[in-house]
Amino acid sequence: LAKTTQPISMDSYEGQEVNITCSHNNIATNDYITWYQQFPSQGPRFIIQGYKTKVTNEVASLFIPADRKSSTLSLPRVSLSDTAVYYCLVGGRGRGKLIFGQGTELSVKP
Amino acid sequence: GAVVSQHPSWVICKSGTSVKIECRSLDFQATTMFWYRQFPKQSLMLMATSNEGSKATYEQGVEKDKFLINHASLTLSTLTVTSAHPEDSSFYICSLPAFYNEQFFGPGTRLTVL
């Protein structure tokens, strides 16, 4: 499983767009990139997954450059309720185990 | 989507006692479930893979005799922390693999050992 590196923490203000970048230099050809969100004292929640280029859903966008060695989770117009830890994971598109990295603690201020 | 429940949501016990945590899949039949542990301000650490009808697979460094996992049905996996000690105090989370790399996580169980 490829190792990921993310910023430990980020601060933002309500209404701003937040971009969290994840590095995964050793990503394998079959690996997908998946992001999870975790609120305090709750289990993580799936946000988005992608393989290349751009993926968008109702919650976020995921940008993946051609070399796939990094990815950026984009949260549009964040609110206080987006304050959470965001995890980037890389792995094959199966139903296997997930290895979580350190995550990025996002703090959204009024 | 699948809903995963855990019981209890929190538990306080005395040192030396055993605690059982249940993880139920309410919508999906789960031949595999995962157990994680999370200490304050740290990431999730995978403890073991629970396999329905067979032995669990433990990650390196996790004591299988201390953390007993039973997966007797397609909807229930249990984690028993035996002879719990204060250092076992943590947030225990189970998950159900669904599609591709998406997993549905339970709400977690906060264990405090006095």
Position A33 scores a pLDDT of 93
Position A91 scores a pLDDT of 84
| 23-82 of A, contacting B, C-beta below 8 A | 32, 34, 38, 41-46, 49
> Rounded CA gap, B62 and B47, in Å?
6
Q: Is the pLDDT of residue A92 over 80?
A: no
Q: Is the pLDDT of residue B2 over 70?
A: no
Asked if B44 is an interface residue toward chain A (Cβ–Cβ < 8 A), one would say yes
Position A75 scores a pLDDT of 97
| Token reading at A98 | 């997930």
DSSP-derived 3-state class of residue B65: coil
pLDDT category of residue B72 using cuts at 50, 70 and 90: confident
Q: Is the pLDDT of residue B3 over 90?
A: no
pLDDT digits (tens, 9 = 90+) for A5-59: 999 999 999 999 999 999 999 999 988 999 999 999 999 999 999 999 999 999 9
C-beta of residue B31 within 8 angstroms of C-beta of residue B75? no
Burial A38-47 (b: 16+ CB within 10 A, else e): beeeebbebb
